[in-house]
Amino acid sequence: MYEHKKRHGVLERRDLLAGMALEVFHKDETLEMRMKLVGKSCRLFFSHDPVKIIRARGQYLYDEKGMQYLDCISNVQHVGHCHPSITKAAAAQMDLLNANTRFLHDNIVQYAKRLAATLPKKLCVFYFVNSGSEANDLALRLARQYTQHQDVIVLDHAYHGHLTSLIDISPYKFRKLEGQKDWVHVAPLPDIYHGIYREDHPNPGQAYSDALKSIIEEVHKKGRKVSAFFAESLPSVGGQIIFPSGYCKKIAEYVHEAGAVYVADEVQTGFGRVGSHFWGFQLQGEDFCPDIVTMGKPMGNGHPLACVVTTEEIAGAFTANGVEYFNTFGGNPVSCAIGLAVLDVIENEDLRGNALRVGGHLRHLLSQLQTKHLIIGDVRGVGLFIGMELVKDRVSRQPATEEAAQLVRRLKEERIVMSTDGPWESVIKFKPPMCFSMEDADRVAMCIDQILTELENV
């Protein structure tokens, strides 16, 4: 597919499919130009020695030297990098039509219908946008318009996007900036490993939800009202957290009693990543349903595509405000063609089943390593959403932040792309493309075992 040759001091790549010649700079030249031309706050993976990736396929990345890397973190490329079915759908629709979403077109309604079939019946009105951040910003607007209230409750360490409105409701970000707004209220993260209520508590789900109820009561005492409770269905930046049983259902009860709505952020966890269900919130049982769901990253397999879905009542209140809402690119024919193709691949290749099988196998392997390496304090997750937490010791559970960073660096040397997450960057996170295989899981576990053994013997 690719042909490289030296010309005028740079490499020239000839894409044989497209018939175009593009300049490709040497890695050091690319890095130098990026440092000059791109904002330095836009950080790279492995900033001390970044990897230059020029092509990808499935769960594999390839650098400018042709070296292959196993990708364990690209949950955006949900069904695999450069999946031929996605590429074909995008090219075919682009060749036929791509237009403003104010023109009537079949793709957007076909896509909405397909998504509706995966959701509870009451979630039936869709707004298509371009990113998870756009989706969460719109969800905030919907909640405030419907409730006519301003205040928002979020979980500690949460991240919901990079827009100003979302930085304000993301403790992960606002604590590093101007601090907490008076209309934002932070509930404890229901983390049964590090949190205030742990795995030995008789009912951590009830305890954490009661803590949120107390926050609602304090808000009311101040003469304020809550518009929404925002939460990822499985907190990712918070450290790959799995909610305790019954938590979301009880939270929804308290939130609704307060006249607010429950917003489930599925930007990281939707589209079958958990394996057993299509959406992360469905892990909490059939009798739990959010009022608003936001989705993003995996929808377009790398193409900018995101969405908000809500009830007819909430959508009706948004329409009644008299202010038109439109999104020029959100839901355009090409985006929806890609979205439809992603749904087809998930179904045709049984990627939910793969997430269950491979994710279960990987968790088993990591749990086996936990019995061997004391630094592994906890292994948790569902499907292909897994976290492995490193600790200094298992009694204090002090996060092993430096060791986690060192493990990620060493894995990169073994050409395995990993990263850390959690409040202390001590959680090794696994969110690979859904085509991740049993052999990939074996390789990752074997390398982690070898590296941790080396570190213990230093």
Q: Do residues 10 and 96 share a domain?
A: no
In terms of pTM, does the model score above 0.85?
A: yes
Residues 297 and 203 in one domain: yes
Counting every residue, how long is the chain? 458
393 in any annotated domain: yes
Same-domain pairing of 301 and 201: yes
Q: Residue 81 falls within a domain, yes or no?
A: no
> Where residue 66 sits, what CATH number does that domain have?
3.90.1150.10
Parent domain of 1: 1-42
- Residue 78 covered by a domain: no
C-alpha 133/C-alpha 307 separation (Å) is 10
Q: Which residues partner with 6 through β-bridges?
A: 11
Using an 8 Å Cβ cutoff, are 205 and 241 in contact?
no
Compute the average pLDDT of residues 42-62.
91
Domain boundary among 348, 365, 393: 348
d(CA 64, CA 73): 20
| Predicted local confidence at residue 22, as pLDDT | 61
How many structural domains is the chain composed of?
Answer: 3
In a domain, 227, yes or no: yes
- Residue 47 falls inside a structural domain: no
Of 333, 348, 363, the position where a domain reaches its end is 348
CATH of residue 267's domain is 3.40.640.10
Assess whether 343 and 354 both reside in one domain. no
**Domain presence at residue 289:** yes
- pLDDT, tens digit (0-9, with 9 covering 90-100), for 110-156: 999 999 999 999 999 999 999 999 999 999 999 999 999 999 999 99
Are 211 and 232 members of one domain?
Answer: yes
Indicate if 416 and 332 belong to the same structural domain. no
Q: Residue 13: its pLDDT value, please? A: 45
62 & 153 share domain: no
Q: Which amino acid does the sequence have at 108?
A: I
- Claim to verify: residue 23 and residue 61 sit in the same structural domain: no
Q: Detail the DSSP E strand segments found in 8-150.
A: 10-15, 20-24, 53-57, 60-63, 68-71, 125-129
287 and 316 in a single domain? The answer is: yes
What six digits make up the tokens of 48?
């001390």
Asked whether residue 321 falls in the same domain as residue 362, the answer is: no
One domain, residues 269 and 197: yes
Q: Kindly tell me the burial class for residue 413, based on how many C-beta atoms sit within 10 Å of its own C-beta (0-12, 13-18, 19 or more).
A: exposed
Do 239 and 139 belong to one domain? yes
pLDDT digits (tens, 9 = 90+) for 339-374: 999 999 999 999 999 999 999 999 999 999 999 999
Burial class (CB in 10 A: 0-12, 13-18, 19+), 36: exposed
Segment 48-75 mean pLDDT: 94
Q: What is the mean pLDDT of the chain?
A: 93
- Whether 211 maps to a domain, the answer reads yes
